[in-house]
Amino acid sequence: MSKNVFYALMPFVLLLGITGVACVSSYLIALSFNDATILRKLMIRLSQILLLLSIFPISKWLGLTKEMLGYAPFKIMLKQFWHGFGLSFLVLLPVFVTLNVLGIHSIDLTKAWTLGWIIKKIGIAFGLALLIGIVEESVFRGLLLTSLRKYLPVFSAVLISSVYYAGLHFLDSKSPVSEETLTLNGSFELLGEAYHNVFALQEWTAFLALCSVGLFLGVLRSRNDINLAVCIGCHTGWVTLIRMSKSAFYADFNSPYAFLISHYDGVIGLLVASWLLFILAIYFSYRFFQPKFTQ
């Protein structure tokens, strides 16, 4: 048990170090530009960049090859990407249909519904989603999950990586920073507030949904060693759909069924969590009974 706790907490220690470096660096940059307004965004972006860059030294330290991290030759990854992208639509479209049938989502008729507007929105949504998919999957289903699997059982590794994945989506602060509060101590207070927001779980249904997303992608990643691109494609598809949904629909939080979504993005919530966990239950039931059917 102590071994499991140790390896489960090691990523958190690393995260503390990375965000601490990002905090100090962001303060120095904001101070040099004499612009307190950029501090919070700088802390977020630098933390993301440092997390991504940490893949290389940590992989070398742990003796992880690119194949172990899930990377394959480009042509194979491209094919896997589109498989994952297609899977994302099959999985998430029933959620959007349900949200519309229940009246939680409605078409926003105030938008300029032209072909050019639609193409532009799809292009922007896909581009941003692709970047998010590559970065987050490389960190969470690439480095983190592979590292944890080196020392822990697969289930524990998938669960722990899913919790980290969900938690980092809430690592942010909302307090404004002025020139008077632009100090190193103030920067660390901002960082402390960001960590407090993670553990406060004010959007617990969104956290549960993101954990379910992490579990789904973690199980998908664990089915094959060299299939990170499937997770990237699936992640890209989901983010594209959610961004397009936010552009084309509005969420009615006064609906009697509004408890199925969260204020995080108006999509993820109890419905997404229940649906993904249901799919995983079907998958594991099939895996459990398959040997008996084939005997």
- The rounded distance, in Å, linking the Cα atoms of 115 and 57 is 46
pLDDT band, very low/low/confident/very high, at 1 (cuts 50, 70, 90): low
Which pLDDT belongs to residue 295?
46
Q: Which amino acid would we find at residue 184? A: L
Average pLDDT, rounded, for the chain: 91
pLDDT band, very low/low/confident/very high, at 128 (cuts 50, 70, 90): very high
Which pLDDT belongs to residue 111?
79
Find all residues with CB under 8 Å of 100, minimum gap 6, and list them.
106, 249
- State pLDDT tens for residues 60-71: 999 999 999 999
Find all residues with CB under 8 Å of 139, minimum gap 6, and list them.
51, 52, 55
Which pLDDT belongs to residue 57?
94
- State pLDDT tens for residues 187-215: 999 999 999 999 998 899 999 999 999 99
Phi first, then psi: what are they for 250, rounded to 5°?
Answer: -120, 145
